[in-house]
């Protein structure tokens, strides 16, 4: 079901034009970190609270009329879900989203509020979300909109990089030399790599879910280990990247970085205090790596704050923790 063409730089440029027609570019906010300016791309300010709206829009607008009529099936812990639901509602396409039963309440509620059908699967119980989605697609003759292993999705997420480059040209006097981004399956990271061919791209994952870090080190796709610890970064809980993503990452990312839960919380607190932004754990992973000093900064460095969908209760715990 997954299209097999490779995503391209031209595809990113097209996606960026399509996205610019309907979504104002979220701001690129300066953050002073030990005397240097880090440019923070506030994707948490997108209408669904995450960059995922970009890929979903690029993908769904590329469907044929017959495909639109049959509908789409998405798989997501929540942000891709909302992106697909948003694009589907806007285009009058029926959308079903396969989501884990333990997804954050706010993500489940928002996806339903956007008019999508939510089909729950038992992640903690070991059900495979891709199998559930493929079964649904067959039953309904619907198109699978994969969260990251899809050329349109990759190109759409890449429009984030197109905007960063345009904004930094004005604000920082030149294009980004470094872009740090949270990494789940590698859709955003691969898209950024296509969008900004001259920038270093560093994917950041939560500890224990650092399959992309290990894959880059090993030179082949490695899966998350079966005993991976619980993580607050629900948006980054993907079992493995895919060849369509890894082909790009392998070429453009010498390494990835893993961050601890405490480092993520510290980044969320700094975004609260200095940027007045609500950033969810997975969305703050890139900033966490920068603050922890795990990435050598460039003269012009950008970080993607990729999402802001977090329950009030979870955010209260983060703000109340002193680590």
Pick between residue 113 and residue 225 the one whose CB is nearest to its own copies. 113
Minimum CB separation of residue 307 from its own copies in Å reads 8
> How far apart (Å, rounded) are the C-alpha atoms in residues 185 and 209?
10
Cα dihedral 208→212→217→218 (10° resolution): 100
Minimum CB separation of residue 61 from its own copies in Å reads 20
Minimum CB separation of residue 33 from its own copies in Å reads 13
Pick between residue 65 and residue 320 the one whose CB is nearest to its own copies. 320
Provide the token pair at 308.
């802001």
Pick between residue 1 and residue 171 the one whose CB is nearest to its own copies. 171
Question: Cβ distance 91 to 114 under 8 Å?
Answer: no
Minimum CB separation of residue 26 from its own copies in Å reads 7
Pick between residue 171 and residue 247 the one whose CB is nearest to its own copies. 171
Provide the token pair at 235.
């948006």
* Best CA proximity match to 39, nearest among 202, 160, 133, 168: 168
Minimum CB separation of residue 184 from its own copies in Å reads 19
Instruction: Name the site residues for its own copies (rule: CB under 8 A).
Output: 24, 26-30, 42, 44-45, 47, 49, 106, 167, 170-171, 269, 272-273, 275-279, 308-309, 312-313, 315-316, 319-320
Classify residue 243 by burial, with Cβ atoms within 10 Å: 0-12, 13-18, 19+: exposed
Phi first, then psi: what are they for 260, rounded to 5°? -85, 165
Tracing tokens 């997804």 back to the chain, one arrives at 103
Pick between residue 66 and residue 170 the one whose CB is nearest to its own copies. 170
């Amino acid at each position: 079901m997954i299209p097999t063409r490779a995503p391209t730089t031209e595809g990113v440029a097209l996606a960026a034009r399509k996205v610019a027609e309907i979504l104002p570019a979220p701001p690129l906010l300066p953050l002073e970190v030990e005397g240097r300016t880090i440019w923070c791309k506030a994707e948490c300010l997108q209408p669904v609270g995450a960059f995922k709206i970009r890929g979903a829009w690029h993908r769904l607008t590329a469907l044929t009329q017959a495909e639109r009529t049959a509908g789409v099936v998405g798989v997501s812990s929540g942000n891709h879900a909302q992106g697909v639901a948003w694009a589907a509602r806007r285009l009058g396409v029926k959308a079903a989203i396969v989501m884990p039963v333990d997804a954050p309440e706010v993500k489940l509620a928002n996806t339903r509020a956007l008019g999508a059908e939510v089909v729950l699967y038992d992640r903690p119980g070991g059900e495979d979300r891709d199998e559930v989605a493929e079964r649904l697609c067959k039953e309904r003759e619907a198109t699978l909109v994969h969260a990251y292993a899809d050329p349109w999705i990759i190109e759409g997420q890449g429009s984030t990089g197109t905007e960063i480059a345009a904004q930094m040209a004005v604000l920082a006097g030149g294009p980004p030399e470094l872009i740090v981004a949270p990494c789940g399956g590698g859709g955003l990271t691969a898209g950024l790599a296509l969008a900004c061919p001259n920038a270093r791209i560093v994917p950041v994952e939560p500890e224990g879910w650092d399959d992309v870090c290990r894959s880059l080190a090993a030179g082949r796709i490695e899966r998350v280990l079966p005993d991976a610890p619980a993580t607050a970064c629900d948006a980054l809980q993907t079992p493995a990247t895919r060849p369509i993503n890894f082909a790009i990452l392998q070429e453009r990312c010498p390494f990835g970085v893993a961050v601890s839960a405490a480092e993520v919380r510290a980044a969320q607190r700094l975004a609260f205090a200095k940027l007045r932004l609500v950033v969810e754990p997975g969305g703050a992973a890139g900033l966490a790596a920068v603050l922890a000093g795990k990435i050598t900064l460039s003269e012009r460095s950008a970080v993607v704050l990729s999402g802001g969908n977090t329950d009030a209760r979870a955010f209260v715990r983060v703000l109340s923790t002193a680590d």
